[in-house]
Structures are given as structure tokens and as C-alpha cells.
Amino acid sequence: MIKKTHVFQQDSIVKTLMLCILTLGCYLIYKLYYFSKKINQNTELTIPNSFIAVTILFSTFSFVSLIYGLVNLDESFIFKNHLGIHIISSILDISWITMVRNRINTITGANKGDRLWLNPFITSIFHVIYMQHKINQSLMKS
């Protein structure tokens, strides 16, 4: 068990939620990057920078192609082409979220059933908002 304090900082859940909504989910990518950077700087549980870069690239490309497809609704082939990009982007995003979740659980010393444990189902729905909530709880505890 690797238990470290002060890897992450407390942040407002409301701010995190609002930024995720206002940026159409782009803040989620930033927050995952921020968590990954903190994990990589403060532990041996690193997330490969190449994986982070590829995931950000695919997420950005998926987002831009979705916007382009919405602007050009009359061209249905754009949405068909976007589907493949979106599937790859989603797989990478889910993998990244899982890596960060698992590492936060390890860093905080949380085990299944503990108060600080990041539940996979809830994490899959609320992503960085839930992660930040649990980080805040762990910082209040220490």
C-alpha cells in the first residue's frame, strides 16, 4: 500500500461540475491530465505520457469532428466516419479514467468498501467530479 498525502489539492466540486458543463466536457480532459501529472510527479504509479497524449489527441479530434458534423448535418457520411473515431476515443477515455481511479485508490490507501474508495460504477458516471469529491474527503481526513 502506498499512502501519500498532499499529492492532490482540495478543489470545489461545484466549480468542477460547472466547468465540465460550461466547457462541454473539455474540463474533464484537463482535470484527468492534472490528476495524471500529479500522480506521475509524486508516485511510482505513473501513467505513460504517450498514452495521455494519444488520448488527448483522439478526444480533441473526436470533439472537433462532432462539432463539424453538427454544423454539416446534411452530410451524413461525417457522422458515420465520426463513429469510429468516437469509439476509439471512448475506449481511451475509459482506460484513462480507470487508470487514474485505480491510482487514486492506491495513493489514498482506499480498499473496496472503504469510505474513500472510488466506486467504479459511480466513477464511470461522474468521472472527475466524483474523483475530486473523494480527494477532498481524503484531505479532510488527514
In which band, very low, low, confident or very high, does the pLDDT at 2 lie, cut at 50, 70 and 90? low
38 within a domain of the structure (yes/no): yes
What span, in angstroms and rounded, lies between the C-alpha atoms of 72 and 111?
A: 48
What span, in angstroms and rounded, lies between the C-alpha atoms of 124 and 133?
A: 14
User: If you ran DSSP here, which 8-state letter would residue 5 be given?
Assistant: S
133 within a domain of the structure (yes/no): yes
Q: What is the pLDDT of residue 5?
A: 57
Q: What cell was used for 115?
A: 469510505
Length of the chain: 142
> What is the torsion angle, in degrees rounded to the nearest 10, for the CA atoms of residue 75, residue 92, residue 112 and residue 28?
-70
What span, in angstroms and rounded, lies between the C-alpha atoms of 10 and 139?
A: 7
Q: Which residues lie closer than 8 Å to 76 by C-beta, 6 or more apart?
A: none
Mean pLDDT of the region 110-135: 93
Q: For 32-73, how does the pLDDT look when each residue is reduced to its tens digit (9 = 90+)?
A: 999 999 999 988 999 999 999 999 999 999 888 888 877 877
2 within a domain of the structure (yes/no): no
4 within a domain of the structure (yes/no): no
121 within a domain of the structure (yes/no): yes
Q: What is the pLDDT of residue 85?
A: 87
- What is the count of structural domains for the chain? 1
Q: pTM of the predicted model, to two decimals?
A: 0.87
Domain encompassing residue 106: 13-141
Mean pLDDT (the chain, rounded): 89
